[in-house]
Amino acid sequence: MLFVMIFLSINYIKISNSNNLNSTTFKRKIDSLERQYKLLDKKFSDQIYFSLDDNQEALGYLNDVDVDSLTSFIRDELYEKNFIKNSDFFIPLSNVNNKYLINKVKILNHKWIIADFSNGSRWGEMWIEYHFNNKKVFFYVKDYFLY
């Protein structure tokens, strides 16, 4: 019986020490994850600052329409510019032999968009202004540059 009590006491001490070590390790891990979460939350907040989705003033200007459907509509209309067959190229650097295509679009607010474009070997970005008239969207390239 004495041996069982000694065994249980020693085993309890080992388990207790192990639990304390695990508790300290978990606490460090939780602290690290909380710091990472705060950093990512700040980065996310910075990223959506210039975004139609989170811009209350722009949404108010648009009369609080469904942002997701509006954003999809604007993007689709802009991506359609990639399929223009005639000589009326949307991206100013495009021509019959060297067509640039819009790759990525970020809608900043109720008036402005930034877009990435390329021809496969050169890349650039452009600033686009847009507005609605009679349920149609009109785009105007305000400025652009190549890398």
- Rounded to two decimals, the pTM is 0.68
How confident is the model at residue 64, as a pLDDT? 64
- Contact criterion met (CB below 8 Å) for 98 and 59: no
What's the pLDDT at 67? 83
The tens digit of pLDDT for each residue in 30-77 reads: 889 899 999 988 888 877 778 888 788 888 888 867 888 888 999 999
Q: What is the pLDDT of residue 23?
A: 76
Give Cβ neighbours of residue 104 (< 8 Å, ≥ 6 apart): 115, 116
Distance from C-alpha of 33 to C-alpha of 25, rounded to nearest angstrom = 12
Most distant CA atoms of the chain, gap in Å? 97
